[in-house]
């Protein structure tokens, strides 16, 4: 590993292996190699929280290794911290659509429901700055009201909510947490504002009145719905947490090493499918990275962003395509497939970590520059896919690799552009060093010394500056 630049520029890499085959060790070592390059930003998309929790079921001190290799602070951003910008109407409209659909706010036939949600999306996107008070965009309405309250403009905030100043003052005095009352008033105005859309979609005034009555009555009976509506509004509260733009700035401008922990997203929005929710946020952040990278490339012609995006459990998000995939997963898969083909010229590389070649998208699989195959893929369809990229004379040797659970020896077969042999068609077999061996080989220190060094660095951070 080069002392100054690590592995250099980003590449397209895949790590494939069954559970317990050593994927986390190998991924840690490769990421440490890239992190050595201080001019490279690294984003780890961590849907299960393994990286963020420092691999609690193994003896891999991943975060300590990565911090020491990088020589810079590691940013762990939890799903509780993530925010979307209220000024990005497309993100607001997309999430409002997703929230409404998941919570079945407007129950009707699937065809009519889709039509309604599309109308709602268009209305939010086209909301003018002077129309925030109508709450067709509840996020803009909430942001506007909270700003007025924080600025002491109680009269204006009350008018926005359809209350008198005295009524709002009483509500604020009665509750130490004013969010409940504010959210309830925003909800009432939001439902009232969608009447026009309902009227367009449904024939008959009586149907519209029944639906709006049902929706307002539903909130009165269902405090859990109010709690989730508050969570929806708080997702756009940028006074705390980090927006997608913030994360991308840390990655591209400040070249940070970031673990984006998505594991607890489902706790914030219990009715939205967990994998779909994670795909939604991955879509937002990957799209923003590409947008910024293209802008930078066009501005300079050769100014590359030099970023590596690592995705754990990749088969869940860029798996074999099925027509019944939810929209967010379709969009994420489509976006990553496009990026793997096109974004290397911008200096964006990818590292996919997954359990199998079978459930991993074949178009992306064939675009990779480097393949690492760990134990457990020597049969069936996994073997056939391996044969596409590995010369047959190396396959039998791979199939004879020992079971790591029985021998405690972890092996990987590698083929691709990183191969130390002077041909990309050859394969190299690597015994993965244990974490202790890796530290000794690369940093000339023991695990205990690494932990002690981290304690010293932490104590220096807390020490006041003279």
What is the tens place of the pLDDT at every residue in 309-368?
999 999 989 887 666 678 888 899 999 999 998 888 888 999 999 998 988 999 999 999
**Other CB atoms within 10 Å distance of the CB of residue 268:** 16
Average pLDDT over residues 97-101: 87
Average pLDDT over residues 84-110: 84
Q: In the prediction, which pLDDT does 213 show?
A: 65
Overall residue count recorded for the chain in this entry: 466
Q: In the prediction, which pLDDT does 216 show?
A: 64
| 133 CB-contact burial (10 Å; exposed 0-12 / middle 13-18 / buried 19+) | middle
Q: In the prediction, which pLDDT does 46 show?
A: 95
% of the chain beyond a pLDDT of 70: 86
Comparing 93 with 114, the larger pLDDT belongs to 93
Q: What is the pTM of this model?
A: 0.88
Q: In the prediction, which pLDDT does 419 show?
A: 66
Answer whether 347's CB lies under 8 Å from 10's CB.
yes
Q: For 237-296, write each residue's pLDDT tens digit.
A: 888 889 999 999 999 999 999 999 999 888 888 888 888 899 999 999 999 999 999 888
The interaxial angle of helices 435-443 and 62-70, nearest 10 deg, is 10
Average pLDDT over residues 71-81: 88
Q: How far apart are CA 462 and CA 312, in angstroms?
A: 33
Q: In the prediction, which pLDDT does 272 show?
A: 87
User: pLDDT at residue 3 above 50?
Assistant: no
> Where does the pLDDT of residue 218 fall: very low under 50, low under 70, confident under 90, or very high at 90 and above?
low
> Where does the pLDDT of residue 464 fall: very low under 50, low under 70, confident under 90, or very high at 90 and above?
very low
Q: In the prediction, which pLDDT does 139 show?
A: 93
The secondary structure of the chain, three-state, reads: CECCCECCCCCEEEEECCCCCCHHHHHHHHHHHHHCCCCCEEEEEECCCCCCCCCCCCCCCHHHHHHHHHCCCEEEECCCCEECCCCCHHHHHHHHHHHHHHCCCCCCCHHHHHHHHHHHHHHHHCCCHHHHHHCCCHHHHHHHHHHHHHCCCHHHHHHHHCCCHHHHHHHHHHCCCCHHHHHHHHHHHHHHHCHHHHHHHCCCHHHHHHHHHHHHHHHHHCHHHHHHHHHHHHCCCCCCCEEHHHHHHHHHCCCCEEEEECCCHHHHCCCCCHHHHHHHHHHHHHHHHHHHHHHHHHHHCCCCCCEEEEECCHHHCCECCCCCCCHHHHHHHHHHHHHHHHHHHHCEEEEEEECCCCCECHHHHHHCCEEEEECCCCCHHHHHHHHCCCCHHHHHHHHCCCCHHHHCCCEEEEEECCCCCCCCCCEEEEECCCHHHHHHHHHCCCHHHHHHHHHHHHHHHHCCCC
Comparing 463 with 389, the larger pLDDT belongs to 389
């Amino acid at each position: 590993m080069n002392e100054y630049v690590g592995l250099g520029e980003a590449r397209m890499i895949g790590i494939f292996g069954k559970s317990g085959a050593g994927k986390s060790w190998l991924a840690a070592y490769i990421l440490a190699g890239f992190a050595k390059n201080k001019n490279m930003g690294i984003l780890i998309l961590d849907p299960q929280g393994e990286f963020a929790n420092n691999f609690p079921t193994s003896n891999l001190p991943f975060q300590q290794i990565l911090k020491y290799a990088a020589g810079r602070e590691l940013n762990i951003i939890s799903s509780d911290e993530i925010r979307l910008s209220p000024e990005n109407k497309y993100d607001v409209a997309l999430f409002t659509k997703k929230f409404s659909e998941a919570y079945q706010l407007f129950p009707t036939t699937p065809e009519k429901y889709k039509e309604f949600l599309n109308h709602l999306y268009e209305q939010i996107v086209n909301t003018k700055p002077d129309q925030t008070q109508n709450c067709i965009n509840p996020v803009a309405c909430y942001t506007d009201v909270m700003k007025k309250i924080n600025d002491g403009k109680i009269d204006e905030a009350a008018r926005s909510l359809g209350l008198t100043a005295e009524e709002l003052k009483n509500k604020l005095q009665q509750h130490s947490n004013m969010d409940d009352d504010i959210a309830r008033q925003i909800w009432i105005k939001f439902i009232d504002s969608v009447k026009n859309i309902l009227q367009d979609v449904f024939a008959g005034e009586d149907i519209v009145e029944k639906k709006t009555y049902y929706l307002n009555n539903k909130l009165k009976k269902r405090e859990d719905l109010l709690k989730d509506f508050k969570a929806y509004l708080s997702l756009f509260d940028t006074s705390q947490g980090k927006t997608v733009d913030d994360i991308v700035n840390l990655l591209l401008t400040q070249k940070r090493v970031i673990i984006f922990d998505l594991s607890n997203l489902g706790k914030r929005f219990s009715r939205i499918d967990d994998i779909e929710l994670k795909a939604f946020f991955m879509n937002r952040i990957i799209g923003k990275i590409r947008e910024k990278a293209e802008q930078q490339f066009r501005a300079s012609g050769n100014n590359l962003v030099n970023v590596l995006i690592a995705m754990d459990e990749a088969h869940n998000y860029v798996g074999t395509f099925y027509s019944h995939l939810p929209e967010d997963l379709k969009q994420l898969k489509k976006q990553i497939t496009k990026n793997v083909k096109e974004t290397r010229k911008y200096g964006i590389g990818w590292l996919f970590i997954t359990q199998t070649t079978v459930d991993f998208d074949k178009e992306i699989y064939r675009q990779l520059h480097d393949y690492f195959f760990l134990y457990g893929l020597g049969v069936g369809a996994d073997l056939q896919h391996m044969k596409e990229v590995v010369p047959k004379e190396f396959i039998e040797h791979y199939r004879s690799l020992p079971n790591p659970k029985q021998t405690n020896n972890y092996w990987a077969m590698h083929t691709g552009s990183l191969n130390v042999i002077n041909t990309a068609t050859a394969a190299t077999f690597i015994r993965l060093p244990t974490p202790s061996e890796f530290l000794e080989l690369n940093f000339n220190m023991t695990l205990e010394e690494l932990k002690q060094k981290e304690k010293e660095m932490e104590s220096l951070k807390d020490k006041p500056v003279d």
